[in-house]
Amino acid sequence: MRKKPKRIGLAIVGAGRVGLIRGELAARHPEVDWIGLAEINPERGEIVREKCGADFVTTDFRELLSRPEVNAVVVSTDEHLHVDPVVFAAERRLPMLIEKPLATDLGESAATLAAIEKTGVDAVMGYTQRFRRRWLVAKEKVGSGALGEVTMVTSRAFMNRLVAIDNYRRSDNRAEVTPMVISGTHALDIVMWLMEARKPVEVYARSVNKALGPTWQGVDGTGYTITFDDGAIYHGVISWALPEIWPGAVYSLEIGAVGTEGVLTIDDTHRDIVLATNLIQAEGYAPDKRRHVDFLTSYPVGDMALGELRGPMREETNSWLNRVSLGVPTQHATAREGHNRLMLTKAIDLSAKLKRPVKLPITADDVAAAN
């Protein structure tokens, strides 16, 4: 006998760029009966309410999450504002889709994870790239043993500095905003997902700050090597300090995995579809420095085509709504995996700061001792 779908009353906390996308997608899902918004900017809240046909809008997430209609939550505030709504929703035992990370502070992330696991609520993380076909195929091939025993993985992520500047402008604590914590975590999650049976035991990293440091007190980029308990290694590099005219709207990534029986390489640089035009472009991340050349499809959430968002965030959102409504399994990152990714990015940043290897895992006390 088929299971009867659960009807969804959805609360969206944070009505920015991602909150709007998820709200518009939810408005079209057949099991969503009610949508409520919590947005600290009242004008923005009204704009998003109109766009997604929300039934309720407030500036207080507690008021929203206390509504009797709510039985599922999307947390899509700025990264440093996730903790309070996540903990409040966990106390109400509401299933959640949380934009990464759980928190920008490692201690707060651990406490948030504990609150989630104490209640047993189903909380997953918005690692959108898990919903792209190329990474799913890579996961399948590694998992099926096509490479034999994986011994080495590499990743290289390039981003123009508009993403970094946008994050620095929005943050009230720039020390917590690094290329690893905010953006490098996507490549890290893909690699750790491919290597999920392995335990990371040590990291060694270095960072540079020549371009963003003088103005934004920020880090340009970081290179790191993670060693696993079986001797496998992962070497990664991320820079989010490329010039504003760099054609990739957001993310340009290459990953390679080498095993005892095979090799797998993935070119996700988006250089296969290039737009060059005399007209000024403002694609994807809506940069304030507009370009005449763009690597199309490099905005990780997807692309607008024929009036609709096409791409991984659409797949991710609909999969999560089906997870809530039908109880079907999905490939979303768990809250524990989300905390693990933050821990690893913090360990990479810590190693770069100390200029020495760091044993894994680390705790908030390890980070505090270095400050």
**SS3 per residue for the chain:** CCCCCCCEEEEEECCCHHHHHHHHHHHCCCCEEEEEEECCCHHHHHHHHHHHCCCEEECCHHHHHCCCCCCEEEECCCHHHCHHHHHHHHHCCCCEEECCCCCCCHHHHHHHHHHHHHHCCCEEECCHHHHCHHHHHHHHHHHCCCCCCEEEEEEEEEEECHHHHHHHHHCCCHHHCCHHHHHHHHHHHHHHHHCCCCCEEEEEEEEECCCCHHHHCCCCEEEEEEEECCCCEEEEEEEEEECCCCCECCCEEEEEEEECCCEEEEEECCCCCEEEEEEEECCCCCCCCCEEEEECCCCCCCEEECCEEECHHHHHHHHHHHHHHHCCCCCCEEHHHHHHHHHHHHHHHHHHHHCCCEECCCCHHHHHHCC
**Of 313 and 282, more confident:** 313
- Preceding amide of 361 cis, omega within 30: yes
**Residue 71 domain flag:** yes
Residue 329 belongs to a domain with what CATH number?
A: 3.40.50.720
**Residue 309 domain flag:** no
Residues 163 and 296 in one domain: yes
Residues 12 and 105 in one domain: yes
Q: What percent of the chain has pLDDT over 70?
A: 96
**Residue 229 domain flag:** yes
Residues 119 and 143 in one domain: no
Q: Which pLDDT band holds residue 340 (cuts at 50, 70, 90)?
A: very high
**Residue 353 domain flag:** no
Residues 170 and 271 in one domain: yes
Tell me: the pLDDT tens digits for 240-282?
Answer: 999 988 887 678 999 999 999 999 999 999 999 988 888 766 5
In the chain, the number of structural domains is 2
Q: What percent of the chain has pLDDT over 90?
A: 77
Residues 180 and 295 in one domain: yes
pLDDT at 289: 57
Residues 51 and 189 in one domain: no
d(CA 46, CA 164): 28
pTM: 0.93
**Of 39 and 213, more confident:** 39
Domain membership of residue 152 as a residue range? 130-300
Residues 84 and 155 in one domain: no
Residues 216 and 124 in one domain: no
**Residue 370 domain flag:** no
Residues 76 and 174 in one domain: no
Residues 167 and 291 in one domain: yes
**Residue 363 domain flag:** no
**Residue 168 domain flag:** yes
Least confident among 179-188, 200-209, 303-312? 303-312
Residue 248 belongs to a domain with what CATH number?
A: 3.30.360.10
Residues 139 and 258 in one domain: yes
Q: Which pLDDT band holds residue 294 (cuts at 50, 70, 90)?
A: confident
Residues 168 and 19 in one domain: no
Tell me: the pLDDT tens digits for 79-100?
Answer: 889 999 999 999 999 999 999 9
Q: Which pLDDT band holds residue 2 (cuts at 50, 70, 90)?
A: low
d(CA 102, CA 81): 9
